[in-house]
Structure 1
Amino acid sequence: MADHIVLGAFRIQFSFVFLLSFTTLVVLGDVPGTAETSVEGKARIDREAIVRRFNPVRRHSSPLGQGGEGEVTPLQIGNGDFAFNTDITSLQTIHPFNILSSWGWKEDAYPVGRTKEDIEQYQGATWPNQHGMQVPYDFGGPPDLEAYLRGSPNRANLGRIGLVVLDGDGSSTSQDGDEPTANGDVKPIEIRPENIHNATQTLDLWSGILTSRFELFGEDVVVRAAVDMGSDTVGISVESKLLLQGSGKGRKRRLGLFIDFPWNEGREKFAAPFVGYWNETEKHITSLSFVSGGSSSGEEDEDGKVTGGGGRKVARITHREYQTTSYAYISGSFDITRDSPYKHRYTILPSSARSTTLSLSVHFSPNALLNASSIPSSQRIFTSSRDGWRKYWEESGFIDVLTGSTDPRAEELQRRIILSRYLMRVNAAGETPPQESGLVNNGWFGKFHMGWKTGARWPKMTDPSGRSSPGELNNLLIWQQPHPLVFAQYELRSVQSPLSALTTDERTRKEREVLEKWRPVVKETADWMAEFAWFNETKGTYNLAPPIHVVSEDTNPNRTYNPAFELAYWRLGLGLAEEWFERLGEEDASRSRWREVRENLAHLPFDKERGLYQIYEGIESDFWMDEKYTSDHPALVGLYGWLPPTDGLDTVIARKTAEEVWKRWNITNCWGWDFPMLAMSAARQGNQAKAVEWLLHPLFAFADAGMPIGGARVPTPYFPGSGGLLYAVAMMAEGWDGFELDEGRAVGREGMDYRQAPGFPEGWDVRTEGIDRAL
């Protein structure tokens, strides 16, 4: 995952979606040891064999799976900033799956009667805070402005690329009638699922290359696709006799490609599985030209066709949506024709009538290229994908729970680990933070839950400009505030770890670089946390007081006082900030202030009668019986699980509280990262069997290609589930601070006895390479 810090403006790019996976499966450089032997003297993990064992294979193209059941999920290729989502053809022939990017955002038109000044001067409601001050928030303003600010900008679907079949002479044939195209011909054949026979689609995880093989109108077709690891470019190769002019058994038909462009608009909070509107063609504009080195050398003729010289050429399609312009560059040996002046669909055919291969690169960009010849060829893209993915799998941390395990569930857990690692790399390793559904579809209008902003208050739902979206939850949630302090700590640990294979001098230098790099983030984040904590002179404690929303988002924000999870996370975060500046050798007013607040934070809310921790101080004692409080994120188990023990935490009470959660919580309403958090809690308690049960709980489901099922609350995929799984597995495999190995056993600071892989029970033989302990 990328980080991006700019001094002065103080911008940071990170996301909770990737928090749980980033903090554990950190790339540590070359894993030490020879090709045959690991650093412990054991045989190295056969990474390639394990990865390829779980290559997704599909044989149908129903978006609802075989028989119309299951989740609508594509097979996906990408590089973290750009993703190409495909159907059974390894393209978007049958289903309009999305092409999404980090940069592809569209501004909508202002509400009727509104101006730019109205947007800039938006004011929400004013609520009193714990000091009695009236604080303005970004919610409760005019409804039309709130709706605009939530939905604009929205993440845009850049286009659709698929197969098309035409008559053998290059004209087109329709299944639905004789509607003329720009050439006076009839429209193309729309390929349907029933046209495709004997299909097999394979995603090779080790190389990132998709391959589809099937029969179409009596001829074999092979399609391969891959994404360049260094640019927003997809490489496509099609092989078939149907590409020949006048081919096809029983009837002359010719195979080609189409590229189409939708209208994007922020109408829906969740746009899934498909993004954009394909029938509102009058609202946007596309134009076609032939370019060389960035200068136009050919324009559309009256028939919508662009011609150029032989050999490799580059066509540019300019797409204008309201005030947003983007570009698609098509590079290869081809001819291209616009289907109709009233549509935004273009047909691409081999420039040679005798070719049985069509190879193209399609590059998407927010800017016109100065040198279009720099677009990589499809062959270069396939090489880039192979090299990039091999390096990713070989040089980052790796966990093998399968090879030596006797528990039959190891196969499924290993599948989830491998596919989650692949999908995290595709969706959560870019220049901007990922949204919950990554680059698959749009949730929350495509916006992410943590972004950059002047200052150090890390908001919940932002766009690339840093603007927070209106909403009570967006403004009053505070539990995400310490996240950057954890990010910083894990990057520092990756440098300090003996697994990094650095020399002493290199380690010292890199450690200093990391300390300096994160200095402003740590300082400003912790300063805000210390300032937010309100000092109650009567009690002599610092408190987290109303109005606030807790992580479960199900309490009254004006009555929520000293929530347990947030208090513990505040303690952890401020302590990490103190340690950071101690390593820097600096003692200033900020560090003293952080220490004062941390040492005098309110105690965790505790029900003396039940002997259990509470969600927040003052909550009714029978909240355990009220579904209003027990039907969302069970954050109480995070006190001693995801979070390490913090000052003042009683681990015996924490265990009893977690066990009560297991009995009383409405688990049927849990989703995503709830289950890894439950697993981490069970692991720290020494209940390894329960930890594995939570990770493989029936409600914590992953589709055939590894996408975590969202359920009724959020669309699929819900990638916090993937990140949570990876963090939990790594922690359970390699352990956490506070226990020491002794002849294959581990003894925790509470005296509990663990196996060498402390979160796994008997029957599991777990091996790790390049993984460090959790906090």
Structure 2
Amino acid sequence: MPLGTQSEWGWHSFNNDSGYQRTETWKDYKGPGRNVPYSVQWDAPGRQRAAADWFRQNPHRLQLGNIGFEILKKDGSRAAVNDLKNIKQQLTLWTGEIKSQFSVEGSTISVSTFCDQQQDIISVSIQSSLLREGRLKVFIRLPFPTGQWLDEGTNYAHDDKHKSSLSDVANNRALLTHEIDSSRYFVQLAYTNARVTSPGQHYFLVTPDNATGKFEFNCRFTPDALTTSLPGYVKTKNQNAIAWQRFWKSGGAIDFKGSTDPRAHELERRIILSQYLLRIQEAGSYPPQETGLTYNSWFGKPHLEMHWWHTVHNALWGRAALMQRSLQWYQDVLPKAIAIAKRQGFSGARWQKMTDNTGEETPSSVGALLVWQQPHVIYFAELCFRDQDSLDKTQRPESPQFAPGIKSNPKQNNGKQDNRKQGISNPTNQAPEKMSARKMAILNKYKDLVFATAEFMASYAWYDSAQKRCQLGPALIPAQERFKPNETFNPTFELAYWRWALTTAQQWKERLNLPRDDKWDHVLQQLSPLPIKDGMYLAAESAPD
């Protein structure tokens, strides 16, 4: 497993010496009555392929650095992995502490590690007799980006293509600066009595000058050269205890105590560990990359169709505030989503599939034609709205049906569906919802996202006068990612999600005392039924076999 260091802000692009333009990645696909340009990959060699490859590769998430131990054996040689014995490591979920212990030639090394809850800082406490003997040091190595689909953070080639320097050196601090093309970031070190040297390019060594056998080390990665001092190990430790107890005492929990099923203990362990992993990897200010922080895959870029899986659990487990952190990104990049829709001849905002922190669209022969990420924003916003019920201590209102008018058992519906009455005002005949100040704040905060998203969805669904119904596609690729875009239309999951999202968007109009949108109602009333064959839902109407 890669042992790199990633951040939300750490990105890099190789120089665009060939002057590639995004327009060079566009390819027309035949839509209803017109061609629609999509940013895709190109198979044939040439400039279009090179341009698509460059925009897929850039920007890419940086591996900021590797931090580890340089341990000398009794004969003066460096210890290797095979020299480490009696290895034990434990994560304490309640406090966020990782305890590591191992031995080299009979000498024990004990390490306690914490990650700061507010800044990109790790704090470490080390205890070993090897410190007194001068045989245990801390190294920081700054790698060069691979620009590949997966960057494991161990590319130590190309020393001449990046610069690093050491400054502000004292017996308790030092500053490292790393420059790669136009990207620059800083590594601020703080420690208890040590010397910092650079025995090789992009390689820095912290040598403790300590006779106590104990050493504390703190490291902060930052895009700016900060002058503020780093919190010490004890402060970071105490901060973690408070933050993690607050997390575990909030939200939902599952207790399998008393279960006689032999799998219960392991299932409970995995549920708890999953909550921890999702908290540390998926609760930032931007949609996370598809593999979180476990791997730096897909060039480190987020995929918006997967954002649902990364964050919805927060709201469903009573921690909607963690989900809301990344929703600000959608508001920030809304103009770019609107621009994509406009370029393709649609209204509203079309959400990117593979993107980056700035909201740029990444060329993809699959991702550019996916649409199941489109309703996610409405889903997120609706969860935020419903979360206010628990905060207001009022009864949660009934939600709109996921697919109004569609019976759960296709056999009971004989493969048919009545769309005539769907999408009309207040379809469930419920009393108007009471709007608290909290709910109104959520409605006003996310209404632009909800309405722009719904506007595209209504624009994307086209009316087939021959069939007398609204269709989705072609060209599109449904969630299964196995059907040809030019041949695919009316995928079942997308149809159901389209109906739910437009129904919910209309409900937001009503909650805000705004008139329902006639175009949205037209699509709801005329949207194609879910395709059924032999009493079973098909993957898409275009795939009857």
Q: Same fold (TM over 0.5)?
A: yes
Contact 1:98/1:440 (<8 A) preserved: no
CA–CA separation in structure 1 for the residues paired with 2:537 and 2:388: 36
CA–CA separation in structure 2 for the residues paired with 1:507 and 1:571: 24
Residues 613-632 of structure 1: matches in 2 within 5 Å? Answer: 613-620=537-544, 623=545
Deviations 1:569-608 (A, max 9, x none): 00011011111111111115xx22212211210111122x
> Which of 28, 40, 51 is equivalent to 1:126?
28
Give the letter for the 1:194 counterpart.
Answer: N
- Which residue of structure 2 lines up, in the alignment, with residue 225 of structure 1? 113
Contact 1:547/1:557 (<8 A) preserved: yes
CA–CA separation in structure 2 for the residues paired with 1:214 and 1:243: 14
Residues 330-341 of structure 1: matches in 2 within 5 Å? Answer: 330-341=189-200
Shift of 1:372: 2.9
SS, match of residue 234 in structure 2: helix
> Which of 137, 142, 150 is equivalent to 1:261?
142
Change (3 A) 1:482 1:148: same
Shift of 1:314: 2.5
Change (3 A) 1:514 1:377: same
Contact 2:73/2:104 (<8 A) preserved: no
Change (3 A) 1:207 1:566: same
SS, match of residue 285 in structure 2: coil
CA–CA separation in structure 2 for the residues paired with 1:123 and 1:470: 7
CA–CA separation in structure 2 for the residues paired with 1:315 and 1:340: 15
- Which residue of structure 2 lines up, in the alignment, with residue 270 of structure 1? 150
SS, match of residue 530 in structure 1: helix
- Which residue of structure 2 lines up, in the alignment, with residue 530 of structure 1? 458
Contact 1:453/1:467 (<8 A) preserved: no
- Which residue of structure 1 lines up, in the alignment, with residue 293 of structure 2? 439
> Which of 80, 92, 102 is equivalent to 1:204?
92
CA–CA separation in structure 2 for the residues paired with 1:328 and 1:411: 42
Shift of 1:463: 1.0
Shift of 1:225: 0.5
Contact 2:65/2:153 (<8 A) preserved: no
Residues 390-405 of structure 1: matches in 2 within 5 Å? Answer: 390-400=245-255, 402-405=256-259
Contact 1:123/1:136 (<8 A) preserved: no
Residues 275-290 of structure 1: matches in 2 within 5 Å? Answer: 275-290=153-168
Contact 1:161/1:257 (<8 A) preserved: yes
Shift of 1:264: 0.8
SS, match of residue 160 in structure 2: helix
Shift of 1:282: 2.3
1:480 and 2:373 equivalent? yes
SS, match of residue 363 in structure 2: coil
SS, match of residue 100 in structure 1: coil
Shift of 1:135: 1.8
- Which residue of structure 1 lines up, in the alignment, with residue 173 of structure 2? 314
> Which of 528, 531, 535 is equivalent to 1:611?
535
Q: What is the TM-score with the length of structure 1 in the denominator?
A: 0.57
SS, match of residue 125 in structure 1: strand
1:592 and 2:518 equivalent? yes
CA–CA separation in structure 2 for the residues paired with 1:507 and 1:582: 11
Shift of 1:197: 1.9
Residues 627-666 of structure 1: matches in 2 within 5 Å? Answer: none
- Which residue of structure 1 lines up, in the alignment, with residue 444 of structure 2? 516
SS, match of residue 442 in structure 1: coil
1:428 and 2:282 equivalent? yes
1:138 and 2:39 equivalent? yes
Change (3 A) 1:533 1:507: closer
Q: What is the TM-score with the length of structure 2 in the denominator?
A: 0.81
CA–CA separation in structure 1 for the residues paired with 2:204 and 2:29: 54
Give the letter for the 1:553 counterpart.
Answer: E
**Kindly, what percent of the aligned residue pairs are identical?**
33
SS, match of residue 379 in structure 2: helix
- Which residue of structure 2 lines up, in the alignment, with residue 547 of structure 1? 475
SS, match of residue 433 in structure 1: coil
CA–CA separation in structure 2 for the residues paired with 1:323 and 1:498: 46
Residues 332-731 of structure 1: matches in 2 within 5 Å? Answer: 332-341=191-200, 343-352=201-210, 354-369=211-226, 371-373=227-229, 375-400=230-255, 402-450=256-304, 452-454=333-335, 455=338, 456-497=349-390, 508-588=436-516, 591-607=517-533, 610-620=534-544, 623=545
- Which residue of structure 2 lines up, in the alignment, with residue 302 of structure 1? none
Contact 1:165/1:255 (<8 A) preserved: yes
Change (3 A) 1:578 1:109: same
> Which of 2, 18, 23 is equivalent to 1:114?
18
- Which residue of structure 1 lines up, in the alignment, with residue 407 of structure 2? none
Give the letter for the 1:103 counterpart.
Answer: W
Contact 2:14/2:181 (<8 A) preserved: yes
* Unaligned stretches of 5+ residues in structure 1: 1-71, 73-95, 176-188, 248-252, 291-305, 624-775
Deviations 1:248-306 (A, max 9, x none): xxxxx521211111001312x234xx23412332221110011xxxxxxxxxxxxxxx4
CA–CA separation in structure 2 for the residues paired with 1:526 and 1:513: 20
Deviations 1:76-126 (A, max 9, x none): xxxxxxxxxxxxxxxxxxxx611111111111133xx602xx335534212
Shift of 1:507: 8.1
Contact 1:235/1:361 (<8 A) preserved: yes
- Which residue of structure 2 lines up, in the alignment, with residue 714 of structure 1? none
CA–CA separation in structure 2 for the residues paired with 1:618 and 1:441: 36
1:164 and 2:70 equivalent? yes
Shift of 1:208: 0.7
SS, match of residue 176 in structure 2: strand
Shift of 1:223: 0.4
Residues 239-254 of structure 1: matches in 2 within 5 Å? Answer: 239-244=127-132, 247=133, 253-254=134-135
Shift of 1:497: 2.8
CA–CA separation in structure 1 for the residues paired with 2:499 and 2:193: 62
Deviations 1:342-392 (A, max 9, x none): x2111112244x2311101100011111x232x211211111111111110
Give the letter for the 1:596 counterpart.
Answer: H
Contact 2:303/2:353 (<8 A) preserved: yes
> Which of 69, 92, 103 is equivalent to 1:215?
103
CA–CA separation in structure 2 for the residues paired with 1:215 and 1:157: 29
CA–CA separation in structure 1 for the residues paired with 2:22 and 2:527: 38
CA–CA separation in structure 1 for the residues paired with 2:173 and 2:525: 64
SS, match of residue 231 in structure 2: coil
- Which residue of structure 1 lines up, in the alignment, with residue 310 of structure 2? none
Give the letter for the 1:572 counterpart.
Answer: W
Give the letter for the 2:248 counterpart.
Answer: W
Give the letter for the 2:136 counterpart.
Answer: L
Contact 1:108/1:265 (<8 A) preserved: no
Change (3 A) 1:517 1:102: same
Contact 2:29/2:486 (<8 A) preserved: no
Change (3 A) 1:547 1:205: same
CA–CA separation in structure 2 for the residues paired with 1:276 and 1:229: 26
- Which residue of structure 2 lines up, in the alignment, with residue 234 of structure 1? 122
* Unaligned stretches of 5+ residues in structure 2: 305-329, 339-348, 396-433
Contact 1:156/1:276 (<8 A) preserved: no
> Aligned Cα RMSD in Å?
2.1
CA–CA separation in structure 1 for the residues paired with 2:12 and 2:393: 41
Deviations 1:622-680 (A, max 9, x none): x3xxxxxxxxxxxxxxxxxxxxxxxxxxxxxxxxxxxxxxxxxxxxxxxxxxxxxxxxx
